[in-house]
Structure 1
Amino acid sequence: MQRLNKESPESTTVSELCEEYRRNNSISRRELERFDVKRGLRNADGTGVMAGLTHVCNVHGYLIDDGDKVPDKGRLTYRGIDIEDIVSGCAAEGRFGFEEVAWLLIFGELPDQRQYKRMCDLLFDNRELPEYFPEDMIIKAPSKNIMNKLARSVMALYSYDDDPEDMSLENNMRQSISLIARMPSIMAYAYQVKRRHFDKESMFFHPYEPGQCTAEAILNALRPDRQFTREEAELLDLCMVLHAEHGGGNNSTFTTRVLTSAGTDIYSAIGAAVGSLKGYRHGGANHRVKNMMTEIMENVKNWDDEDEVEAYLEKILRGEAHDGSGLIYGVGHAIYTLSDPRAVILKGKARALAKEKGYLQRLSLYETVERLAPKAFLKVTGSEKVLCANVDFYSGLVYEMLGIPEDLFTPMFAVSRIAGWCAHRIEELTTGGRIMRPAYRALPVKQRYVPFSERRVR
């Protein structure tokens, strides 16, 4: 049997196959422009192609004036309520917000005291995974990547559901609450198994405590001594509130809606959404921010010297430093221009913890990079595009201060965004009614069918 091999001269190499592919496959920018292709489902000015309507969330980052895009302060609203009001309201009343936000996103109104308690109780009652699920689906099949394990485990839950294919609102409501509750459990199990199998460290599984909110339950599961402060839990809860939803057009939520429109089960739809979020162009960006900032810290001698910091950012933009991509990760956004409200809120709340944990100098460097990145971008590219730090720029630093392992930066995003995914899943089921099917124009190259014996050997 002939095996694929990158190095062996006796075998067909992957590079040979890739050369064959490249010889016969290309689509030029000229062709894309000729047929007015909306690359990435975006219009020429960068705005998204209108694909649907939603009550769940609105993301505002610019105004349109006589057809021109005008930068504006970023605003994020969940069911019409400004995220800043939700965050400040929960803080003023000393209440955790994720459970409230999950209710708001799914049902459309803020929960009253009875409904809030009901949501907290439902999530606690459904947090445990099915019997033998951790052993059979997680411990026996460890993964180096926790997002991979999240997606596989969500799909596997199909087999533990007595009625997985029922598309009724009632059944999908039950499944949604169950998935929101179980995602942190899957993440915690997957991480512990990864530590034991690949990192050769001890793993531990703590029982959940009644009365703990989702953020507290996560810290309880991840810390060996199960100890954490109220302030730490509140900051993690804030991260979850800010990550819970971001409109129907982001890649993972759109993935949820596309699969839902096909009439597939919730486990297939949410599993695909997790796979989307895993990508570095989406949820994986906070991990790349962390790596980039670590390199800047190692190579910039004086963090207070703005000229030195800006010079290194210019090297990154020219592809001469970091990963050669020419990108400053965490800066810039598809919608936000002047500001990302999530980043603004997170940075403000993180300062107190940074002081307590000895991270003030590091936070200051992050703020310097945020401030200088647009200047460096203009100098290197000549583009006057308005840029701001997005939530991924600061979320990794906050997780680091909270002791959340880097392996869990993106999984924490998924554990939070599951609330928005389920809200959009239910909305698509009840209001969509048609499978999504965008058009692709074919660019066939006319060829004559050549008999096998007459084909030229290449």
Structure 2
Amino acid sequence: MSAEQRENITYLCDEFKKYNYISEEDYSRYEVMRGLRDKIGMGVRAGLTSICNVLGYDESITDRKVPMEGKLIYRGIDVEDIIENSKIEDRYIFEEITWLLLFGSLPTYGQLRLFNKVIAELRNLPSGFSEDMIMKSPSPNIMNKMAAAVLSLYGYDELAEEKSLENVLYQSISLIAVLPTIMVTAYQVKRHIYDKKSMYFHLPKSELSTAQNILRTNRSDKQFTEEEARLLDLCMVLQADHGGGNNSAFTTRVVTSTGSDTYSAISAAIGSLKGPLHGGANIKVIEMLDYMKEKIKDPSDDDEVFEYLCRLMDKQEGDKTGLIYGMGHAIYTKSDPRAVILRKNLSEIAEEKGFGDDFKLLYAVERLAPKVFELKKGGKDICANIDLYTGLVYRTMGMPEELYTPLFAISRLPGWCAHRVEEKMFGNRLIRPAYKYLGVDRKYVPIRERKL
């Protein structure tokens, strides 16, 4: 932007500020559910779903809100049971949970083999797509490139506008299969164009799981450990869905309700997840962690960590926003089961990879931040959310920060697709909430009579 352009934009911003303002009192006066949330921060009921349930309050008690240990339910099954059984059976389960979310039941061995075969056959990009849609138009931001690439796939689908159940499911499974390939390709091109580093492309292998292929194709030597792949698979399962009211799933439903195509709906969801208040929060946690490591000498000293967090909330440390990233959730109160499961599975590998102190600091944040919140803002049930630990999961694997949120998108894609199908089949109404108009009536003034 030139100096003249900057001056012009500053003038235009000043003009905007003259005539645009909505006060906090107006939101209260008109009883607006800001963010579609009620007075205690719970989402207002905007639809029905049988895909996923997120519990932070005891639903058996109807006359008041009683906090409880968090529960995440996929199609009626507690995610903790899913994880425990996967360990017993010693299997990768992201593909199995994708089936569960899309179809509503657990697959048999035969069904899962068929599903894995279908996914494997759809992992490669269309001929010429990498060169024409990614290499010729690189982006420094992988989420933006993924969203653009998904939209571009519309042009490679002769039935892009066909909205039968069969076609929407085919499009959904195709996107679930190919998005990891898009992510890795976009990142390699970004490395070459913007970071001036070598890029390398490896084809996915049909016999490997999604988690294994992500690690293999993104590394120059294609090497990874089973421990790394199992942890990534676990992380992906925990992020596969989070109810129809989470911002990106709701975005998918809003776009679907208009009758738009699958590619537009999923691209919009990626744009939603990119935001730092949604999927981008894991990067903010890592930034916060690095600030903490600069100032905290002993990660095991709770008093030192507590004092730092107090200064952080007072906007004296970190990014000076006063936010403790990775803490608090719109629904969970006493605990986020995803964070609990990740913490239990992360500690050992973090120590082995040399990130033991990082883990200790984050665990200290989880333990001490509720006390800091109580001191600074009064009593309220607050717990760590999954974003507190996902960034460190990716860091232990050597994943670049540019891929933290894209990995979240790949994980959440099965949930988005399940919500698209459900909204298309059973929603059957354009989503259109109301906004209260606060403008003042005025007369049109001819341009020759207008004055500054």
Would you say same fold, with TM above 0.5?
yes
Q: Which residue of 1 aligns with 2:74?
A: 78
1:378 to 374, 377, 388: 374
Q: Does 1:169 align with 2:165?
A: yes
Q: Which residue of 2 aligns with 1:412?
A: 407
Encode CA deviations 1:260-316: one digit per residue, 9 max, x unaligned: 000000000000000000000000000000000100011112222222211111111
Q: Which residue of 1 aligns with 2:145?
A: 149
Encode CA deviations 1:196-239: one digit per residue, 9 max, x unaligned: 11111110001222210100110111111111111111111001
Encode CA deviations 1:312-355: one digit per residue, 9 max, x unaligned: 11111111221222110000000001000000001101122123
Give the direction of change, closer, same or farther, for the CA distance of 1:30–1:67 in structure 2 (3 Å limit).
farther
Q: Does 1:112 align with 2:129?
A: no
Paired with 1:18 and 1:11, the residues of 2 have a C-alpha distance of 10
Q: Report how far residue 63 of structure 1 moved.
A: 2.7
RMSD: 1.3
- Describe the SS at the equivalent of 1:193: helix
Q: Does 1:51 align with 2:46?
A: yes
Give the count of matched residue pairs.
451
Paired with 1:444 and 1:388, the residues of 2 have a C-alpha distance of 40
Moved over 4 A (4+): 64-67
2:249 to 243, 246, 253: 253
Q: Which residue of 1 aligns with 2:36?
A: 41
Q: Which residue of 2 aligns with 1:364?
A: 360
Q: Does 1:308 align with 2:304?
A: yes
Q: Which residue of 2 aligns with 1:450?
A: 445
Paired with 1:68 and 1:32, the residues of 2 have a C-alpha distance of 24
- Describe the SS at the equivalent of 1:68: coil
Q: Which residue of 2 aligns with 1:345?
A: 341
Encode CA deviations 1:48-87: one digit per residue, 9 max, x unaligned: 1100000100000113656432211000010000001111
Paired with 1:163 and 1:210, the residues of 2 have a C-alpha distance of 26
Q: Report how far residue 12 of structure 1 moved.
A: 4.7
Encode CA deviations 1:68-115: one digit per residue, 9 max, x unaligned: 322110000100000011111111111101000000000000000001
Paired with 1:358 and 1:187, the residues of 2 have a C-alpha distance of 27
- Describe the SS at the equivalent of 1:100: helix
Q: Report how far residue 11 of structure 1 moved.
A: 7.0
Counterpart residue type for residue 212 of structure 1: L
Paired with 1:66 and 1:345, the residues of 2 have a C-alpha distance of 29
The answer (yes or no) to whether the contact 2:51–2:418 under 8 Å persists in 1 is yes
1:94 to 90, 96, 104: 90
Paired with 1:160 and 1:348, the residues of 2 have a C-alpha distance of 43
- Describe the SS at the equivalent of 1:75: strand
Counterpart residue type for residue 354 of structure 1: A
Q: Does 1:203 align with 2:234?
A: no
Paired with 1:200 and 1:145, the residues of 2 have a C-alpha distance of 15
Q: Report how far residue 47 of structure 1 moved.
A: 1.0
Paired with 2:128 and 2:446, the residues of 1 have a C-alpha distance of 56
TM-score, normalised to structure 2, is 0.98
Q: Does 1:267 align with 2:276?
A: no
5+ residue gaps, structure 2: none
Of 168-177 and 66-75, more deviation after overlay is shown by 66-75
Paired with 1:248 and 1:416, the residues of 2 have a C-alpha distance of 15
Paired with 1:91 and 1:218, the residues of 2 have a C-alpha distance of 21
Counterpart residue type for residue 41 of structure 1: L
Counterpart residue type for residue 396 of structure 1: G
Give the direction of change, closer, same or farther, for the CA distance of 1:367–1:173 in structure 2 (3 Å limit).
same
Paired with 1:451 and 1:186, the residues of 2 have a C-alpha distance of 53
1:180 to 176, 180, 188: 176
TM-score, normalised to structure 1, is 0.96
Counterpart residue type for residue 302 of structure 2: E
Q: Does 1:422 align with 2:417?
A: yes
Q: Which residue of 1 aligns with 2:329?
A: 333
Q: Which residue of 2 aligns with 1:240?
A: 236
Paired with 2:48 and 2:62, the residues of 1 have a C-alpha distance of 24
Counterpart residue type for residue 60 of structure 1: L
Counterpart residue type for residue 304 of structure 2: E
The answer (yes or no) to whether the contact 2:336–2:383 under 8 Å persists in 1 is yes
The answer (yes or no) to whether the contact 2:289–2:358 under 8 Å persists in 1 is no
Paired with 1:193 and 1:451, the residues of 2 have a C-alpha distance of 53
The answer (yes or no) to whether the contact 2:184–2:218 under 8 Å persists in 1 is yes
Q: Which residue of 1 aligns with 2:286?
A: 290
Encode CA deviations 1:392-435: one digit per residue, 9 max, x unaligned: 00000011001111110000000110000000000111101111
